[in-house]
Amino acid sequence: MLGLSGRFARSRGGSMMPLFFISLVPLVTVVGFSVDYTSAVQTRSNMQQALDAATLAITTLPKTTALAARRQMLQDTFAANGGQGTVTLVSFTIAANGTATAQASASFDMPTDFMQIARINTVSVGVTSAVNKAPALVQTTFKIEKASGWWDKTMYLYGTQFGSTTKQKLMQISYVYNKGGDPKGYGTTTVSTVSGTTLTQVQQQVCNTTTVANFDNTPSGAITSTDGNGVMRQTVCTTSPANSAGAVIDVSQMDQLYLEMNVPSAATAKPAQPTTLRSNDPKTSNRLYIGTSPTDMPEIATGQTVDIFTAVPCGQTGYQAWEDGGSAVPAPVVNADFFYTVMGKCDFNQRPSQTVLTQ
Range of the domain at 346: 137-352
**Domain identity same for 145 and 260:** yes
Q: Is the pTM of this model over 0.85?
A: no
**Domain identity same for 114 and 223:** no
> Is the predicted pLDDT of residue 175 greater than 90, yes or no?
yes
**Domain identity same for 69 and 114:** yes
Q: Do 333 and 295 touch, CB atoms closer than 8 A?
A: yes
Asked, for residue 4, whether it belongs to a domain, the answer is: no
Q: What is the mean pLDDT of the chain?
A: 87
**Domain identity same for 152 and 289:** yes
Share of the chain above pLDDT 70, in %: 88
Asked, for residue 321, whether it belongs to a domain, the answer is: yes
Q: Do 123 and 230 touch, CB atoms closer than 8 A?
A: no
Asked, for residue 234, whether it belongs to a domain, the answer is: yes
Kindly report, residue by residue over 268-281, the tens digit of the pLDDT. Answer: 777 778 899 999 99
Count of structural domains, the chain = 2
**Domain identity same for 168 and 293:** yes
**Domain identity same for 115 and 144:** no
User: Based on C-alpha coordinates, what's the Rg of the chain?
Assistant: 35
Last residue of a domain, one of 104, 133, 162: 133
Asked, for residue 55, whether it belongs to a domain, the answer is: yes
Kindly report, residue by residue over 84-111, the tens digit of the pLDDT. Answer: 999 999 999 999 999 999 999 999 998 8
> Is the predicted pLDDT of residue 174 greater than 90, yes or no?
yes
> Is the predicted pLDDT of residue 5 greater than 50, yes or no?
no
Asked, for residue 11, whether it belongs to a domain, the answer is: no
Q: Do 294 and 339 touch, CB atoms closer than 8 A?
A: yes
Q: How far is CA 316 from CA 95, 136, 139, 248, 341, in A?
A: 21, 14, 12, 14, 10
**Domain identity same for 93 and 166:** no
**Domain identity same for 180 and 117:** no
Asked, for residue 68, whether it belongs to a domain, the answer is: yes
**Domain identity same for 82 and 151:** no
Asked, for residue 8, whether it belongs to a domain, the answer is: no
Nearest-angstrom CA–CA distance, 86 and 125: 11
